[in-house]
Amino acid sequence: MYNMTNMVRPLAHDDVFQAVASPARRTLLDKLSSREQTVHSLAESFDMTLPAVSQQLAILRRAGLVSARRAGRWRVYRLNAEPLREIARWLDSYQRFWTARLKALGEDLKRYEKQDERWR
């Protein structure tokens, strides 16, 4: 289906969550958030070989989180934060819990003590 002609694979939602699950990839995003950078430049500040960095960037690219342009023989990567909105949207539905929880914390504590139920 997606191998046909020039069809673009739809941005799978899951990929974004998975892409940011890796500390290394989050660091890459962080570095790119200050300025666009070449692969070499990104790899320098890393305890990782250049191909490894290149591979991680490919994953970020597939998730739509970075884009690359050629500049001479360099490839300049740039952050594209937009897909992160997917995560933000997802988080929104949970936000009420930590606001609600803070309000209800006092009573909860009392209640659970009485019930003699232990949460772990």
Neighbours of 85 (CB within 10 A): 10
Query: Is 91 one of the binding residues for its own copies (CB under 8 A)?
Result: yes
The H or E element that residue 89 is part of is helix 84-115
Torsion angle, CA of 54/80/77/72, rounded to 10 degrees?
A: 130
Compare residues 58 and 100 and give the one whose CB is closer to DNA: 58
Rounded to an integer, what distance in angstroms lies between the CA atom of residue 58 and that of residue 84? 17
Site for its own copies in 35-54 (CB under 8 A): none
Helix axes 23-34, 50-62, angle to 10 degrees: 80
Q: What three-state secondary structure class fits 33? A: helix
Considering only 9, 78, 110, 111, the residue that binds its own copies (CB under 8 A) is 78
Compare residues 4 and 117 and give the one whose CB is closer to its own copies: 117
Site for DNA in 62-91 (CB under 7 A): 68, 70, 72-76
Q: Binders of DNA: how many residues, by CB under 7 A?
A: 26
Interface ranges with its own copies (CB under 8 A): 14, 17-18, 20-21, 23, 26, 29, 33, 61, 67-71, 78-79, 81-82, 84-85, 87-88, 90-91, 93-95, 97-98, 101, 117-120
